[in-house]
Amino acid sequence: MMLEFLLSINFLGHFLIASVIALLIFKNFCNLYSAETSEPILPTAKRQQKENERQRPQSLYRNIDTNFRCIEVYFATEYGNTKKLCEKLVEYFTTTKSIDSVLIDLSNIEPEDVLHSKNAQRKCLSLFVLPTVTDGQPPKAAKWFCKWLSDAATDFRIDKQSQAHVSYAVFGLGNSVYAENFNIVAKEVDENLAQLGACRVCKLTLGDEDTSESQNGGLEADFDAWTKVIENVVWSQCTPPYEVLDTRANEVETSSEEEDVVDIEDLVKPKSKRTNSKSEGAKEMITPQLRGVLTKQGYKLIGFHSGVKLCRWTKSMMRGRGGCYKHTFYGIESHRCMETTPSLACANKCVFCWRHHSNPVGTEWKWKMDDANTILRGALENHYNMIKEFKGVPGVLPEKFAEALAVKHCALSLVGEPIMYPEINKFCRLLHEEGISTFLVTNAQFPEAIRAMDPVTQLYVSVDASTKESLKKIDRPLFKDFWERFIDSLKALSEKTVQP
Ligand SMILES: Cc1cc2nc3c(=O)[nH]c(=O)nc-3n(C[C@H](O)[C@H](O)[C@H](O)COP(=O)(O)O)c2cc1C
Ligand code: SF4
């Protein structure tokens, strides 16, 4: 068994502070420098742009420093309508308005490239024109982009301001006869971009093929009306005009008193109905509310207390791209790795945890329990179903897709505390019997459980702080003797031996 743990080192702290100061100085220097340089303008467009500036109303002209310098039109099509409309739009802005405009088929690009493109940084306006097709799905060409975006918007590890440099508008093509599926793709893309901090320059516009319902009498007329709106936006600056509603905020606020940690199940019941769980016997760990929140965030829940989710590196490697650090250090195949947890609950309420308003907590197992075999079967079935969604998606390599349908590694690190699950040894043993290696991460609050752990492929202990005070502030542990448990966990780890 290979053992690993992370330590905070004073030297590292000083190094980081020095790096941040150096970066700030460098950033200020860059800002000063870029303030004095002007954006390149295409020679052919220059004369016409001057003419446009002359004709613009004075009130808008004052915003010239914040005008968009170019337009990128991202589109995908199944039956050809979207492409035709987008070509018309690009032609209009390029020739009539002399704005550097480019048409980009979403099937030809990587999502990361769209949203981190230099053009977005240099004040390009990003327009997304997307139809909804069969069963409320995006066209095949946009499947990867839409999935990537929705995963990113709900992934707690991704900074919710990561797309703050992007200014965007979305137009949807749809037909209102499809009722609840009407333009669902455009709605989701618009919402997910906002969730990632991108700046929405104008309201989401939904084109309707149904001429009796369409605001302007048909899809093309809706699109033309939107083009006019965009034309005005191009001369204005980007300030988010619409409040972003966090539709995921179904979580229940817990008490702010650190000592008064109450289980989420108790919080969602009216006070008079709260009961002592022990007197009632085993409870369910996942309430209907929590189930709804986790499902929306892309988790596949198994039984009473387990979950599985597709890791971004698994998806990346299916496309022949990079794997995670375990690939770099230990050669694991990220596209054949399953990320799961047999316990969504834990004994901390870490400040950095995306679930700290909603995670079930406890100092011991007190919930209804599934047996290890049920969890393993459920995890594999759900994992493979998620992998199968990538069949035929542009960019996914057929040989990697086929390999991904045979899991070789299991990361027991998704969320929660896997070591709390009473049958954790059996669960790991079953994984080994399937030829699957195990990577288990524990949060250093259960030293006896660490001692009782049978060998796994790699055992990790998270070290989130280096002093008692900072650990209390950061992990907000439930245990009063959390520091002793933490130290004892490291001791338990050091007692383990590395096996060949
Ligand atoms: C088979 C089929 C299924 C469709 N399903 C939906 C739908 O679920 N929701 C919706 O709003 N529009 C739906 N539409 C309408 C399309 O969004 C509309 O025809 C659009 O213009 C197609 O764009 P495209 O030609 O660029 O692929 C559907 C159209 C077809 C032909
Ligand atoms: S240990 Fe993990 S799951 Fe538990 S609160 Fe901390 S980050 Fe969240």
For the chain, domains (ranges, CATH) are 63-234 (3.40.50.360), 264-495 (3.20.20.70)
Cα of 168 vs centre of ligand 1, distance in Å, is 23
Cα of 179 vs centre of ligand 1, distance in Å, is 12
Give the ligand 2 atom nearest the CA of 344.
3
Q: Is the pLDDT of residue 223 over 80?
A: yes
| Lowest-confidence segment of 15-19, 95-99, 169-173 by average pLDDT | 15-19
pLDDT at 419: 96
Which range, 58-67, 101-110, 376-385, has the best average confidence (pLDDT)?
376-385
Q: Is the pLDDT of residue 166 over 60?
A: yes
Could you tell me if the CB of 82 is within 6 A of ligand 1?
yes
- pLDDT confidence of 184, banded at 50, 70, 90? very high
Best probe residue, ligand 2, of 415, 441, 445 (max atoms within 8 Å of C-beta): 415
Contact 297, 415 (CB under 8 A): no
Return d(Cα 102, Cα 115) in angstroms, integer: 15
Cα of 211 vs centre of ligand 1, distance in Å, is 14
DSSP 94-106: IIIS--EEEEEEG
Return d(Cα 288, Cα 7) in angstroms, integer: 38
Q: Is the pLDDT of residue 322 over 50?
A: yes
State the average pLDDT over residues 161-169: 84
| Closest listed ligand to the CA of 351 | 2
Which long-range contacts (C-beta less than 8 Å, at least 24 apart) are formed by 357-361?
A: 357/251, 357/252, 357/253, 357/254, 358/251, 358/252, 358/264, 358/289, 358/290, 358/293, 359/264, 359/415, 359/416, 360/263, 360/264, 360/265, 360/285, 360/286, 360/290, 361/261, 361/263, 361/264, 361/478
- pLDDT confidence of 131, banded at 50, 70, 90? very high
- pLDDT confidence of 42, banded at 50, 70, 90? very low
β pairing state of 124-131 and 70-75: parallel
3-state secondary structure of 164: coil
- pLDDT confidence of 476, banded at 50, 70, 90? confident
Q: Is the pLDDT of residue 272 over 80?
A: no
State the average pLDDT over residues 276-298: 70
Could you tell me if the CB of 214 is within 6 A of ligand 1?
no
Give the ligand 2 atom nearest the CA of 475.
6
CA nearest to 369, candidates 293, 465, 303, 311: 303
Helix (H) or strand (E) holding 302: strand 300-302
Residue 280 CB neighbour total at 10 angstroms: 8
Residue 200 in tokens: 């929405």
Could you tell me if the CB of 109 is within 6 A of ligand 2?
no
Q: CB within 8 A of 74, min separation 6: which ones? A: 104, 106, 109, 114, 126, 127, 128, 129, 145
Return d(Cα 88, Cα 110) in angstroms, integer: 24
State the average pLDDT over residues 386-407: 93
State the average pLDDT over residues 1-11: 37
Cα of 357 vs centre of ligand 2, distance in Å, is 11
pLDDT at 220: 93
Could you tell me if the CB of 474 is within 6 A of ligand 2?
no
Best probe residue, ligand 2, of 341, 359, 421 (max atoms within 8 Å of C-beta): 359
Could you tell me if the CB of 476 is within 6 A of ligand 2?
no
| HSE of 494, CA atoms in CB hemisphere, 13 A | 7
Cα of 150 vs centre of ligand 2, distance in Å, is 23
Contact 207, 199 (CB under 8 A): no
Give the ligand 1 atom nearest the CA of 137.
8
Name which residue leads in pLDDT, 19 or 170.
Answer: 170
Mean pLDDT of the chain: 77
Name which residue leads in pLDDT, 107 or 206.
Answer: 206
Helix (H) or strand (E) holding 205: strand 205-208
Cα of 387 vs centre of ligand 2, distance in Å, is 26
- pLDDT confidence of 291, banded at 50, 70, 90? confident
pLDDT at 254: 28
Cα of 210 vs centre of ligand 2, distance in Å, is 49
Could you tell me if the CB of 254 is within 6 A of ligand 2?
no
β pairing state of 300-302 and 306-309: antiparallel
Cα of 401 vs centre of ligand 1, distance in Å, is 29
β pairing state of 300-302 and 458-461: unpaired
Cα of 58 vs centre of ligand 2, distance in Å, is 55
